[in-house]
């Protein structure tokens, strides 16, 4: 029978902030389904502890934190717009086109469309006006 042994957290693991600031355009009036446009910005700090282990000698902002940045953008945008909290429930498409490195500013342009149980997000990310990632995801509103 296998024995389970606890694994300590790696020295570079810390809670991650993946968005520095956002702006939200008001919903489009008269649209068949409400649409929110959100722009978020995150600067990859060269001293970011997560970069020590990803990858030593060639630091790259982890793709999972790009996804985290989308979730933080959507949550902050919905809160700003007075909408209920919604949680990421499905990634329907993720394309990484260019690596984010220390000092890069990642810009998230996110369009949220209302769907039956929450919101559908289309995100285009850029670094210095060049495509960096494209994500499609669904967010479900919390009950209660």
pLDDT digits (tens, 9 = 90+) for 34-81: 789 999 999 999 998 889 888 889 999 999 999 999 999 999 899 888
Please name the CATH architecture into which domain 21-141 falls.
Roll (3.10)
Residue in 40, 42, 41, 35 with CA at minimum distance from that of residue 111: 35
Q: If you average pLDDT over every residue of the chain, what do you get? A: 87
Q: Residue 2: pLDDT above 80?
A: no
Is the distance from CB of 109 to CB of 39 less than 8 angstroms? yes
Q: What is the pTM of this model?
A: 0.87
Candidate list 20, 35, 54, 107, residue with the active-site label = 54
Mean pLDDT over 110-116 rounds to 94
Least confidently predicted of 2-6, 14-18, 21-25: 2-6
DSSP state, residue 65: H
Is the distance from CB of 138 to CB of 92 less than 8 angstroms? yes
Q: Catalytic annotation on 54?
A: yes
- pLDDT value at residue 109: 97
């Amino acid at each position: 029978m296998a024995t389970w042994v606890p694994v300590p957290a790696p020295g570079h693991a810390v809670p991650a902030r993946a968005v520095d600031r956002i702006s939200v355009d008001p919903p489009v009036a008269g649209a068949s389904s409400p649409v929110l446009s959100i722009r978020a910005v995150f600067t990859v700090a060269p001293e970011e502890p997560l970069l020590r282990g990803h990858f030593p000698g060639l630091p790259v902002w982890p793709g999972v934190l790009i996804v985290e940045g989308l979730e933080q953008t959507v949550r902050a945008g919905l809160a700003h717009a007075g909408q209920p909290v919604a949680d990421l429930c499905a990634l329907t498409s993720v394309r990484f086109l260019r690596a984010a490195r220390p000092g890069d500013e990642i810009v998230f342009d996110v369009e949220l469309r209302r769907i039956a149980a929450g919101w559908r997000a289309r995100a285009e990310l850029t670094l210095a006006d060049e495509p960096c990632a494209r994500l499609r995801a669904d967010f479900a509103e919390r009950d209660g």
